[in-house]
Amino acid sequence: MASFAEYKTRNSQYITFIDSEFYPDYLDEAKMIYGSVIEQFANLVNIANTSADLLLRITEIPNPSRTQLLRVFRKYVSPDTSVEMLKVKKRIPNIIEDYGNRFRKIEEVQEKLATRSTPDEALMAILVEYKHRGQKGYELTEAFFLWFETHFGSEYLIEGPIRAGRDIMLDEVLENWLEKTPADILISSYTGAPLVIGFARYDSDRGGAQEDDRISGNREKITNILNYADTYNLPLKVFFLNDGPGLTLGSMWNDYASLETYGKGRVMVCTLKMLDERFTKDWLEN
């Protein structure tokens, strides 16, 4: 069986392109979703006494509107704070204390809003692109689950979030696994014996420091999982489902190939188009 490294000279033939919408085609969708959100944000800005007061007012609004308003707040008032930070209501007083001195003043927010067109298509485009982040990863995992069920559904069990959903937590499925380690795929025999732990990612345009950090993190996952397998005498393997044109950027392809080498046959890196050639019963069981 050819290794992941051996596909490098023809890697473009094995990359799956998950379609993205063209600009400005998605602006109609953006207007429907975010037109009223930006209008609501402007109304809150006009009655808020300070930017901190604006944030407190937003946190009192129920979801899903609150999260969308927080996205606009971050753009206009506090790019230092992530939406994930702002989502936790009980942390808001601490965020105001720690970051409030860097909030844009409410008077300036009002001035900036007044200069924008209505509807603000530029902001809407940014927000709708944020909304679509992660969708390609969902489509990637869904495609793999469908492929696996077709080829191996009668022989093995597969678990994991097919699209959005809760990750497989290894401390919940592997006895005596101590760390809270999330995974995307768990393949087991029908007797319940775990066979493969999988991680999925679609890369549109990754590289640089993020690439280095991820490869280091993946190597650590391999080390921990294979050490666990050796300790408990399990035929456990590690699978990386990676796809997208970002794989061809920088040293990404070589870095993922090095993970296979490091795993000595117990680690596989695959794109969707490689599955028929590489993800075989022989690899699963031997």
pLDDT, tens only, 111-127? 999 999 888 999 998 88
Q: Are residues 230 and 117 in the same domain?
A: no
In this model, does residue 151 exceed pLDDT 90? yes
Residue 1 lies in a domain: no
Residue 18 lies in a domain: no
Length of the chain: 286
Q: Are residues 226 and 111 in the same domain?
A: no
Helices marked H in the chain? 27-47, 51-59, 65-76, 83-87, 92-99, 106-115, 121-132, 135-152, 170-173, 208-231, 252-263, 275-278, 281-285
Domain-ending residue, one of 74, 97, 132: 132
Q: Are residues 270 and 156 in the same domain?
A: yes
- Return mean pLDDT, the chain: 91
| pLDDT score, position 210 | 54
Strand pairing report for 194-202 and 185-189: antiparallel
CATH, residue 198? 3.40.1350
Residue 209 banded pLDDT, cuts 50, 70, 90: very low
Residue 199 DSSP SS3: strand
Residue 144 lies in a domain: yes
In this model, does residue 207 exceed pLDDT 70? no
Residue 142 banded pLDDT, cuts 50, 70, 90: very high
Query: Which domain range does residue 185 map to?
Result: 134-285
Q: Are residues 235 and 266 in the same domain?
A: yes
Range 169-173 contact pairs with CB under 8 angstroms and sequence separation of 24 or more: 170/197, 170/225
Q: Are residues 153 and 275 in the same domain?
A: yes
Q: Is the whole-model pTM more than 0.95?
A: no
Q: Are residues 233 and 98 in the same domain?
A: no
Q: For residue 243, which of 95, 136, 116, 117 has the smallest C-alpha distance?
A: 136
